[in-house]
């Protein structure tokens, strides 16, 4: 099991290029199941979660290669099951549900079980499939989804669900008739999925709004697509500059998708400047405390909450961080406390008393974004921070220690037996 050793206190300097978005690539990879032929996806990041989805597609009968571009040949599907051992590795595996039901008219999807950050059920996904005409049978920890034919429907999500919206879009793309999804997720990754589906021949309007209309077509065809840049990775690097008092340039930043996060960072004293090389991000001498409440896009992204909490731990003043999306997304806080952070948690609210500084300590990563939060804290802390279980971070950040080292960070990965 690998760990990071970080010697903190070094302001980041230099330029970093933002990778393709994991949370766009995953549903788009699943969407290749909708059409036989060879699909070509560019700007797909090299991450563990991408490898897991590639394994899932191969399990179902696809041929997948990832050398530069990611190619998926989905000519023959010889299986309709998303098995527990893959789904428990990565919850986003449930994204194959919509495409399998659309292509094969049946799917057997393992229920994901619990996850570190919350229960994360898939009831809304199943409700959407039922609305489209599927019968659902829950048996032995699996959801059997059977639809002799898919018909267009009105689908309303009681709770905004990103992958639930994606599954509904993919199944509706080839349903008979028109589907309207209301209270749809507005995330940029949904827009990117809609762009890919449209290039396959789907008829979709309204992606990016809370009302998406999909007119079913008889058949889709393979397509090529370049995956949108990763707004969460970009936000993480912005906070890295802020927390180290650094001065960096980010290339390929989707700033249009980061307006809320950038506004909160500006309130804390971070400065942004568009330059010919990219977006320049400068951390202030002293950080002001800022309150944040997470919300579905275009609100403050829950996937940046842990990173922002680490930033507020070294600010001057008190900030209130409210997590509204997941019920257990504060697991980074006890670890930050080991580094001297003063944060009290009450349900979904964390009150952060900025200490102006942190001190290096041994800590443990618990989930993807919590591990990013601990890396950022280590970069800012005085002394040495050791982060255990960093396989979590490899799920969502490509070569993170190399790219941080290129910005002047003192970070190395060591293998521990």
Site residues (vs ligand EPZ, CB under 6 A) = 23, 26, 91-92, 118-125, 159, 161-164, 189, 302-303, 325-326, 368-369, 396
DSSP β-bridge partners for residue 322: 293, 349
* Cβ closest to ligand EPZ, residue 123 vs residue 359: 123
CA distance 200 to 34: 9
Q: Which of 73, 77, 111, 115 is catalytic?
A: 115
Using only C-alpha atoms, what is the Rg of the chain?
21
* Cβ closest to ligand EPZ, residue 127 vs residue 357: 127
* Cβ closest to ligand EPZ, residue 168 vs residue 315: 168
Least Å distance, CB 258 to ligand EPZ, is 14
Nearest of 284, 287, 326 to residue 305 by alpha carbon: 326
Pairing, β 278-282 against β 247-251: antiparallel
* Cβ closest to ligand EPZ, residue 92 vs residue 315: 92
CA distance 27 to 96: 8
340: its two tokens: 């001297």
Least Å distance, CB 243 to ligand EPZ, is 19
- How far CA 180 is from CA of 146, 211, 262, in Å, comes to 21, 7, 32
Least Å distance, CB 139 to ligand EPZ, is 18
Pairing, β 69-73 against β 224-226: unpaired
* Cβ closest to ligand EPZ, residue 222 vs residue 396: 396
Least Å distance, CB 162 to ligand EPZ, is 4
Alpha carbon 305 to chain centroid, angstroms: 12
213: its two tokens: 């209309």
342: its two tokens: 């003063």
Q: What's the first-to-final CA gap in the chain, in angstroms?
A: 6
- How far CA 394 is from CA of 268, 312, 388, 404, in Å, comes to 29, 24, 12, 14
Least Å distance, CB 293 to ligand EPZ, is 14
Residue with tokens 């036989």: 36
Pairing, β 178-182 against β 154-156: parallel
CA distance 304 to 343: 17
* Cβ closest to ligand EPZ, residue 210 vs residue 247: 210
Least Å distance, CB 212 to ligand EPZ, is 15
* Cβ closest to ligand EPZ, residue 108 vs residue 125: 125
CA distance 417 to 414: 10
130: its two tokens: 């039922």
Task: Please say if 115 is a catalytic residue.
Answer: yes
Least Å distance, CB 327 to ligand EPZ, is 7
Active site residues: 115
């Amino acid at each position: 099991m690998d760990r990071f050793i970080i010697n903190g206190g070094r302001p980041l300097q230099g330029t970093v290029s933002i990778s393709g978005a994991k949370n766009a690539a995953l549903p788009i990879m699943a969407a290749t199941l909708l059409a036989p032929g060879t699909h070509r996806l560019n700007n797909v990041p090299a991450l563990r979660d991408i490898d897991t989805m590639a394994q899932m597609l191969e399990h179902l009968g696809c041929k997948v290669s990832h050398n530069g571009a990611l190619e998926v040949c989905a000519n023959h599907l010889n299986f309709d099951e998303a098995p527990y051992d893959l789904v428990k590795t990565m919850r986003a595996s449930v994204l194959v549900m919509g495409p399998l039901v659309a292509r094969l008219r049946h799917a057997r999807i393992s229920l994901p079980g619990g996850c570190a950050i919350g229960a994360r059920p898939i009831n809304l996904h199943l409700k959407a499939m039922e609305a489209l005409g599927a019968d659902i049978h829950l048996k032995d920890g699996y959801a059997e989804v059977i639809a002799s034919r898919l018909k267009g429907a009105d689908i309303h999500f009681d709770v905004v669900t990103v992958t639930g919206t994606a599954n509904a879009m993919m199944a509706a793309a080839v349903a008979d008739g028109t589907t309207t999804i209301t209270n749809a997720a507005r995330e940029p990754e949904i827009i990117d999925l809609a762009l890919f589906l449209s290039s396959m021949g789907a008829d979709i309007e309204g992606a990016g709004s809370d009302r998406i209309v999909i007119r079913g077509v008889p058949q889709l065809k393979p397509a090529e697509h370049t995956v949108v840049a990763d707004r969460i990775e970009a936000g993480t690097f912005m906070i890295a500059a802020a927390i180290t008092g650094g001065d960096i340039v980010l290339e390929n930043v989707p700033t249009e998708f980061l307006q809320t996060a950038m506004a909160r960072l500006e309130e804390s004293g971070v400065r942004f400047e568009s330059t010919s090389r990219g977006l320049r991000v400068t951390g202030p001498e002293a950080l002001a405390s800022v309150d944040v409440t997470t919300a579905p896009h275009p609100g403050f992204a829950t996937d940046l909450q842990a990173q922002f909490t680490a930033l507020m731990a070294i600010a001057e003043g008190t900030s209130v961080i409210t997590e509204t999306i997941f019920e257990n997304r504060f697991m980074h806080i006890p670890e930050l406390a080991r580094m001297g952070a003063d944060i009290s948690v009450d349900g979904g609210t964390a009150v952060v008393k900025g200490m102006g500084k942190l001190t290096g300590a041994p800590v443990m990563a618990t989930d993807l974004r919590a591990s990013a939060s601990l890396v950022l804290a280590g970069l800012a802390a005085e002394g040495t921070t050791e982060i255990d279980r960093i396989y979590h971070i490899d799920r969502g950040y490509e070569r993170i220690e190399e790219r941080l080292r290129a910005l002047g960070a003192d970070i190395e990965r060591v293998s521990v037996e």
